[in-house]
Amino acid sequence: MENKFAELRKRYEETAALGSARAVLAWDQRVTMPPGGAPGRARSMSALARVVHGKATDPEVGRLIGETWDWAQAKGPDSFEAAYLRVLKRDYDRATRLPSDFVAEMSAAASAAMAAWEAAKKNSDFPSFAPHLEKMVGFNRRQAEFLAPGEPAYDTLLDLYEPGMRRAELEPLLGELAEGMKPVIKAISESSAAVSDDTLKGDFDEKAQLALADELVRELGFDFTKGRQDRSVHPFTTGFSLSDIRITTWTMRDWLPACVYASLHECGHALYAMGAPAGFEFTPLAGGAGLGVHESQSRFWENFVGRSRPFCEWLLPRLRRHFPGKFDKTGPEELYRAVNKSGPSFIRVEADEVTYDMHIALRFRLETALLDGSLKVKDLPEAWNAGMKELFGIVPKNDAEGVLQDVHWSQGTIGYFPTYSLGNLMAAQLNEAMRADMPDMDGLIARGEFAPLLGWLREKIHVHGARYFPADLLRRATGKERDAAPFVRYIKEKYSGIYGF
């Protein structure tokens, strides 16, 4: 049986190595490729995708999974072998249940939808995008039906991004989160506290921003011998092996936090990826437990560390060094308040910690309604604007800054948005547990001693890769079930301090 498992591993390694090649091509496309390269690159990418798909759905893989299953389970449900087969079987079943014609059709429709979305967003022209969105909703329904016939579609889609999560568990969590934020949002709107982010506006040399970003992620523990940081249109993290993890950031000349916090965020993803044990290299266990857990890592470093008071104390002299003269009159408390300024806003990716999850709540509400047909695509802009009015008290002036702002639905991903909130919520739980274990966490951060924090995450989260379901992983790390209360507590305490309520 060892031989059969070894054979399965060999096959998987080959497939993973080719998948990794495809990721290199995608990184290059977003970071370094000249514009002329696009058509040729599309051909290389799709040729490679066909090869990877062929290997991933090879019936021999299915046969070997079946033959080794009981042998692996006998080693215990948490054994490397059992976990390996569980994740591999999940991916294999998914890949083989979707007919390849359907995959090709959906992928082509998504390409067309993304192009239509880009144009529609530019012209704030929802009707031109509506038929594409209609199609993508249909594709999502069919995809769910192929994957789990008869099951609730949203559960099936959600499980693609957050293994084991179901709508019945998700909905109360998101509800509790939103309910918890409402009084905070109200208190902030009524507060007369002076919170200004003027110090973060101005003219910040972009090379200096990038140099600062490199320094920050290095201090956090990003290993530049095993990764790099570049610039791209939208920040992202990717990896080709456990020792080649790449992040990107962006810069806005007149708004410093864009670069700083994108870097901290992507660095959080990268530290998770870099922290898998060497034995997980080119195995199904290398990719992390799910998108929510991934997001908990990025949000932990971005917000729970990066927007904390001690971090601002540590950051300030660095800002002064990279931008001479710019922060001479800014104190640490002013910086802390500036990076935490909160208020209703139209754009999710620019939202602060308090309001961010309200944006997710809106998307969750709308995408579930689209999927079950209770909301028609043509009525979506109206529903969006009504939701913005209800949740934030503001209405976008056009669909570009409203319903058309995000790429996700055009890509055909429904069930993805909630993982952002799950990330916030789990980050808060990890933060509470870590502070209980390390009472001087603020002191460590203020002194730039991030290694103990990373060490804690390594031990509790990173080394497990995809071995456990997200809920099990969290329970092992914190002793708790997923729970919105720690996040609500954290926000209330932090923001009552800043806004004095």
Q: Which active-site residues does the annotation give?
A: 266
- Work out whether 79 is an interface residue with its own copies (CB under 8 A): no
Return the number of the residue (42 or 386) whose C-beta is nearest its own copies: 42
Return the number of the residue (172 or 224) whose C-beta is nearest its own copies: 224
Alpha helices in 409-469 (DSSP H): 418-437, 441-446, 451-460
Asked if residue 417 lies in contact with residue 368, where contact means CB atoms within 8 angstroms, the answer is no
Q: Residue 26 Cβ, how far from its own copies at the closest point, in Å?
A: 10
Asked if residue 17 lies in contact with residue 281, where contact means CB atoms within 8 angstroms, the answer is no
Sign of CA dihedral 354, 359, 362, 364: negative
Rounded-to-5 percentages of helix, strand, coil across the chain? 70, 5, 25
Q: Given the rule CB under 8 A, which of 23-31, 135-143, 195-203, 325-333 is the region that contacts its own copies?
A: 23-31
Per CB under 8 A, the list member of 69, 71, 236, 240 interacting with its own copies is: 240
What three-state secondary structure class fits 144? Answer: helix
- Work out whether 60 is an interface residue with its own copies (CB under 8 A): no
Q: Residue 18 Cβ, how far from its own copies at the closest point, in Å?
A: 5
- Work out whether 266 is an interface residue with its own copies (CB under 8 A): no
What three-state secondary structure class fits 336? Answer: helix
Q: Residue 258 Cβ, how far from its own copies at the closest point, in Å?
A: 24
Q: Residue 238 Cβ, how far from its own copies at the closest point, in Å?
A: 12
And the tokens for 408?
Answer: 């996700």
Q: Given the rule CB under 8 A, which of 21-29, 135-143, 248-256, 460-468 is the region that contacts its own copies?
A: 21-29
- Work out whether 469 is an interface residue with its own copies (CB under 8 A): no
One-letter amino acid at 303 equals N
And the tokens for 317?
Answer: 């002299």
Return the number of the residue (21 or 103) whose C-beta is nearest its own copies: 21
Cα separation of 294 and 462, whole Å?
A: 10
Q: Residue 223 Cβ, how far from its own copies at the closest point, in Å?
A: 7
Cα separation of 213 and 250, whole Å?
A: 10
- Work out whether 7 is an interface residue with its own copies (CB under 8 A): no
- Work out whether 34 is an interface residue with its own copies (CB under 8 A): yes
Per CB under 8 A, the list member of 70, 151, 206, 223 interacting with its own copies is: 223
Cα separation of 447 and 211, whole Å?
A: 20
Asked if residue 233 lies in contact with residue 35, where contact means CB atoms within 8 angstroms, the answer is no
- Work out whether 48 is an interface residue with its own copies (CB under 8 A): yes
- Work out whether 243 is an interface residue with its own copies (CB under 8 A): yes
Q: Residue 43 Cβ, how far from its own copies at the closest point, in Å?
A: 4
* Residues contacting its own copies: total by CB under 8 A: 40
Asked if residue 192 lies in contact with residue 362, where contact means CB atoms within 8 angstroms, the answer is no
What is the SS3 assignment for 58-93? CHHHHHHHHHHHHHHHCCCCCCHHHHHHHHHHHHHH
Q: Given the rule CB under 8 A, which of 24-32, 291-299, 377-385, 492-500 is the region that contacts its own copies?
A: 24-32
Question: Within the chain, how many helices (H) and strands (E) appear?
Answer: 20, 3
Per DSSP, 462 falls in state G
Per CB under 8 A, the list member of 51, 112, 252, 369 interacting with its own copies is: 51
Q: Residue 67 Cβ, how far from its own copies at the closest point, in Å?
A: 24
- Work out whether 37 is an interface residue with its own copies (CB under 8 A): yes
Q: Which residues bind its own copies (CB under 8 A)?
A: 13-14, 17-18, 20-22, 24-25, 28, 32-37, 39-41, 43-48, 50-51, 223-228, 240-244, 281-282
